[in-house]
Amino acid sequence: MFETWEELEESIKDCNKCKLCKTRQNIVFGVGNKNADIMFIGEGPGADEDKQGEPFVGKAGKLMNMAFQAVGLKREDVYIANIVKCRPPANRNPEDDEAQSCLNYLRNQVMLVKPKIIVLLGSVALKNILGKEYGITASRGKWVEKKDIKYMPTWHPAALLRDETKKIDFINDLKLVLKENN
């Protein structure tokens, strides 16, 4: 484990621990307040994120920003990262070996941020952080506490693009997060 952001960022810049390194344009490390009380974890970068090197800047990210605005949450007040730091081809879900290759980077990010709350965006984040026995439909909107961190599983913003009825759940989950953080 690395004790500083500089050491961690240096350790990942030439990462080739899995096959995703062969097709990436940029490593998408993470962004936001490095001392945030609230951290968001998604699954992996898409095409826009790969191009820009920043998580949640595409359509799903714009929708997430609108939801943040609706509940009074500022993107610059939270920290945002993903399970994998390189884009899976055709935006497929990261394979288990790819996720395992990246999880130590993410664990180190969590250790450095020290969030009180982690919002798990979608099934991939949920299963990789809390365990394969969790399902997003059954877990969404319900607090899980482990090692002094409260986890809120919710829909991935990309799911809201496919099914608009999930937007209300997502907004309500963000309100629960804000209420718990106050």
pLDDT tens profile 103-129: 999 999 999 999 999 999 999 999 999
The type of residue at 160 is L
For residue 72, the 8-state DSSP code is: T
- Pull the structure tokens for residue 172: 């309500």
What local confidence, expressed as pLDDT, does residue 93 receive? Answer: 94
Q: Considering the entire predicted model, what is its pTM? A: 0.97
For residue 70, the 8-state DSSP code is: H
What's the rounded mean pLDDT across residues 4-30? 94
Indicate whether 182 pLDDT > 90. no
How distant, in Å, are the alpha carbons of 45, 92, 165 from that of 24? 10, 14, 33
Q: Write down the domain spans for the chain.
A: 5-181
Three-state DSSP class for residue 118? strand
The secondary element (H helix, E strand) that includes residue 108 is helix 96-113
Instruction: Tell me the fold of 5-181.
Output: Uracil-DNA Glycosylase, subunit E (3.40.470)
